Amino acid sequence: MTDERELDDGLAAFDQLGREMAETNRLLRAVRSEQATRNQQEHNLSAEMRSALKQATGASQKALQASQAEIRSSLLWTGLTAFLIVLVAFGAGYFFGQRSGTEKGQAEGYQKARNQEAAASWANTPAGQRAYGLDRLGSLDMLALCKGDGWITERQKGGTVCFPKLDAKGNLSGWYIP
């Protein structure tokens, strides 16, 4: 009878071990299935990120090309305008100088032409080009007078100082500078 009991105990232990192994195998399959699902999700997300990055890169390249074309156009316009100003200045100087026919008239015409030439030279500087761009956008007067949303002026040490101010949402505004 002890042998049968030991056999029954051994079979019961073997049966218990079989159930535990079956449960372990079931859990392993579930873990592998979840891992495969996670891997697929990560792959899909990675593909979406690559696609978004490609789109963003393309958009930034188009924007860069557009801004380069705008800069070229602005430089050409500024150069032509400066050339015209110089021509007009020299023409006006000559006209006013010859009109009076006196040394004073010639000197005044020459001085006006020099002032116009100085203005034309300044128009070709980076500061002159920025001022021209701000004026074209309608921002030059707002900037000079410190007008616009989110900007305040204060009197300090005998002068007026312009400060940015956050709006109720915490946003800061300004002027578009070309």
Q: Which of 131, 37, 39 is nearest to 82 (CA)?
A: 131
Residue 161: what are its φ and ψ, rounded to 5°? -115, 135
pLDDT tens digits, 19-43: 888 888 899 999 899 999 998 988 8
Residue-level pLDDT at 35? 92
Between CA 152 and CA 163 the distance in angstroms is 5
pLDDT tens digits, 100-132: 555 665 567 667 767 777 777 777 888 788 778
Between CA 108 and CA 116 the distance in angstroms is 12
Cα dihedral sign, 62-63-68-69: positive
Cα dihedral sign, 86-92-94-96: negative
